[in-house]
């Protein structure tokens, strides 16, 4: 549905697949694209630094909230156990009131008060919050490592079946906490809802801190092979 190399401003505004209508780039310095895994990629390391894509421009969608996959290369500038909290990506708006637009997924890393795990937050169409966790003992990376991150979702699965899966470098991570299972209600994609790469909002203390490259989104759940 969406494929952008993130090589430069043109690659963001005119992605190879999907729509760049209404896309926004916010970095300091302006257009902070640097050498990455393949060509160049986005460098985001402060609150508000991000790329925004509309879920849909009214004619073409960039994401399907019912089921899908997002995959990208990510090089964190921090060790996974450095005791800070970081935002990574999201398939919908993160609201200033501290919640999320229904149907959106938000993975990131937690601080020491939450045991340095990965968080994966999902709000269904009824506003119910599901917060999944990956224990720090179940994953590891060092600052400067290149990671291939893949997140899949299918909210039409059978009752009892896990509907979210997270992979790093082809290995699935075990989700704990409020693990969402079975079918879940999600809203339709909207023109005023934005996916983000990097910072989830324009204020607060949770920052992105890494490089992003080669972002792909499918309209189905595609397990890592």
- Kindly report, residue by residue over 184-205, the tens digit of the pLDDT: 999 999 999 999 999 998 888 8
The pLDDT tens digits of the residues spanning 80-116 come to 999 999 999 999 999 866 678 899 999 999 999 889 9
Residue that wins the pLDDT comparison between 97 and 51: 51
Q: Residue 18: pLDDT above 80?
A: yes
The pLDDT tens digits of the residues spanning 143-159 come to 999 999 999 999 999 99
Q: What φ, ψ does residue 90 adopt, rounded to 5°?
A: -160, 150
Question: For residue 21, is the peptide bond before it cis, meaning its omega torsion is within 30 degrees of 0?
Answer: no
> Which pLDDT score is estimated for 128?
92
All structural domains of the chain, each given as residue ranges with its CATH number in brackets, are 2-218 (2.60.120.200)
Supply the pTM of this predicted model: 0.96
Strand partners of residue 80: none
| Position 79 confidence tier, pLDDT thresholds 50, 70, 90 | very high
| Position 44 confidence tier, pLDDT thresholds 50, 70, 90 | very high
> Which pLDDT score is estimated for 96?
66
| pLDDT, averaged across the chain | 95
**What Å distances lie between residue 172 and 53, 185, 211, 212, 223, CA to CA?**
27, 25, 22, 20, 9
d(CA 66, CA 186): 6
């Amino acid at each position: 549905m969406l494929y952008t190399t993130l090589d430069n401003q043109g690659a963001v505004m005119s992605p190879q697949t999907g729509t760049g209508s209404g896309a926004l780039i916010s970095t300091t310095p302006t257009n902070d694209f640097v050498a990455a895994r393949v060509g160049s990629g986005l460098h985001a390391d402060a609150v508000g630094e991000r790329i925004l894509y509309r879920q849909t421009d009214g004619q073409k969608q960039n994401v399907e909230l019912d089921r899908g996959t997002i995959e990208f290369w990510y090089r964190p500038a921090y060790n996974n156990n450095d005791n800070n909290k970081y935002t990574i990506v999201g398939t919908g708006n993160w609201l200033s009131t501290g919640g999320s637009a229904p149907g959106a997924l938000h993975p990131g890393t937690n601080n020491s008060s939450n045991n340095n795990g990965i968080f994966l937050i999902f709000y269904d169409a009824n506003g119910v919050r599901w917060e999944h966790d990956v224990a720090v003992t179940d994953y590891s990376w060092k600052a400067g490592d290149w990671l291939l991150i893949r997140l899949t979702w299918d909210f039409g699965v059978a009752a009892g079946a896990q509907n979210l899966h997270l992979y790093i470098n082809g290995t699935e991570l075990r989700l704990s906490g409020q693990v969402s299972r079975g079918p879940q209600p999600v809203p339709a994609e909207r023109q005023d809802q934005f996916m983000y790469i990097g910072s989830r909002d324009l204020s607060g203390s949770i920052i992105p801190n890494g490089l992003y490259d080669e972002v792909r989104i499918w309209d189905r759940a595609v397990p890592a092979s």
